Chain A
């Protein structure tokens, strides 16, 4: 039931993004939209090709594409030049781990190592981006910013599933299915937070901007 709800919740951000397309233009959220589309299509794609391609390859490819989109989102969102190097270095590190894992051909359908590295990197990026946002006086109340909700979505999702991703390889099938609802629940939460971001109005300027204090 939870899995089905999580699957249905993946459609919501796509619908809301398209309905509120005007509000989301120019905000860099098209990457999140692409990610939601990718997320929605992965499962049906796997069912289409499972006879020819092992599950492991499909999910590993999904992880690599997912991280590429996340990295691009964070890279474009960071404004300070010295911080922009961090997603680049993180991406290099991730690709080394993911590609070496990809070529190992594990029997475990879930790519635990790349997913864990991805989770750690995304959590770090979220903290960095939040730090940048609270330092920017033009933003005002941080939760009035669309990207804040996207960052919170990533932050919550990957924090909740970090240990799940690390240990999923060591769990039995039965244990995995009993713990996987954590992933489903936080995936739903992530999609709801994406929807909030897409629905929010554009241009919440800081009403308390300090322009008048400069003399």
Chain B
């Protein structure tokens, strides 16, 4: 052995002593390092877990608040619009019972019928806003086209949509989630951006499903979105995020390269869609 040959007989004891001490010091040092390093990693894991839990709590609260707001809106619509209309119809019919004059009776019945027609239309609108039948019967493309046509029809802005590759429909629950996300984004654009046009495109690329929304108003970037998500405001955006989480999707907010319009991209993995379909 080279070590033995190199060491002179007198120094063997010295080398043995210091060698043993050195090896022990290295071993103990390594063990201590491993233990402390591991504890550091676990502390970091705990911190990440806490942050994730806080974020989930925030999303859940946002979801609950949005649900309550929706319920309040429906209650208000029914109470303020449908309620008085039906009460008025009832008054006309009551008058009918009292007044025996045939012309007056016919007029009352006719008025009551008009009011009931209006009430039916109102309730139909409330119902459609809760769950658009076009989405259920004809799919996401038709429902989005419908929505955009209504926006264009109102005259407030120019809205258009184009689906490039939507031969096969997604599962109903997933279509509803995507539709809600698009609805929420469009509502935000209508409320906050002052845009004059909004254009939606859909396409697929490999195993990914994309929906892109362009508008020329005031928008937000990805940084703004992340900040709003972490704060207590931005209820709608939190709702969007929690809905996309169900589909394992992503959303990107950016300003276009030409700096003339804002773009929102929703990305979903088609395989995840298929997996969700298989699971169900």
Contacts and interface: CB of A to CB of B under 8 A. Distances in A.
A163 B15 CA distance: 8
A52 interface: no
A208 B42 contact: yes
A156 B24 contact: yes
B13 interface: yes
B233 interface: no
Q: Which residue of A143, A152, A159, A175 has the most chain B CB atoms within 10 A of its CB atom?
A: A159
Contacts of A164: 16, 20
B172 to A, nearest CB: 23
B16 A179 contact: yes
Contacts of B7: 167, 170
A130 interface: yes
Nearest to A214: B52
Given A116-B1, A140-B42, A142-B34, A215 B23 contact: no
A169 B15 CA distance: 14
The bracket for how many chain B residues form the interface is 20 to 34
Interface string A139-158: 01111000000001001100
A170 B46 contact: no
A46 to B, nearest CB: 25
Nearest to A156: B27
B49 interface: yes
A171 B26 CA distance: 25
A78 interface: no
A146 B245 CA distance: 39
A103 interface: no
A162 B37 contact: no
22 contacts: A127-B30, A130-B34, A134-B37, A137-B45, A141-B38, A141-B42, A152-B31, A156-B24, A156-B27, A156-B28, A159-B26, A160-B23, A162-B23, A163-B20, A166-B3, A167-B4, A170-B12, A182-B20, A208-B46, A208-B49, A212-B49, A213-B49
B59 to A, nearest CB: 11
A147 B48 CA distance: 28
Contact of A155 (B27, B42, B52): B27
A88 B173 CA distance: 54
A210 interface: yes
Given A113-B1, A166-B4, A210-B48, A134 B38 contact: yes
Contacts of B45: 137, 208, 210, 213
A213 B48 contact: yes
Contacts of B97: none
B208 interface: no
B133 interface: no
B9 interface: yes
Interface of A: 112-113, 116, 127, 130, 134, 137, 140-143, 152, 155-156, 159-164, 166-167, 169-171, 175, 179, 182, 208, 210, 212-213, 215
Contacts of A171: 12
Contacts of A169: 4
Contact of B245 (A130, A152, A163, A215): A215
Contacts of B23: 159-160, 162-163
What are the 4 tightest A-B residue pairs by CB atom distance, in nearest-first order?
Answer: A163-B19, A159-B27, A159-B23, A208-B45
Nearest to A211: B49
B35 interface: yes
A167 B15 CA distance: 9
B135 to A, nearest CB: 27
A163 B25 CA distance: 14
A212 B52 contact: yes
B12 A167 contact: yes
B39 interface: yes
Contacts of A166: 1, 3-4, 19
A112 B12 CA distance: 15
A54 B28 CA distance: 37
A137 B45 CA distance: 10
A152 B20 CA distance: 16
Contacts of A167: 3-4, 7, 12, 15-16
A162 B33 CA distance: 22
A175 B13 contact: yes
Contact of B9 (A161, A170, A213): A170
Contacts of B1: 112-113, 116, 166
Contacts of A137: 45
Contacts of A210: 45, 48-49
A159 B26 CA distance: 9
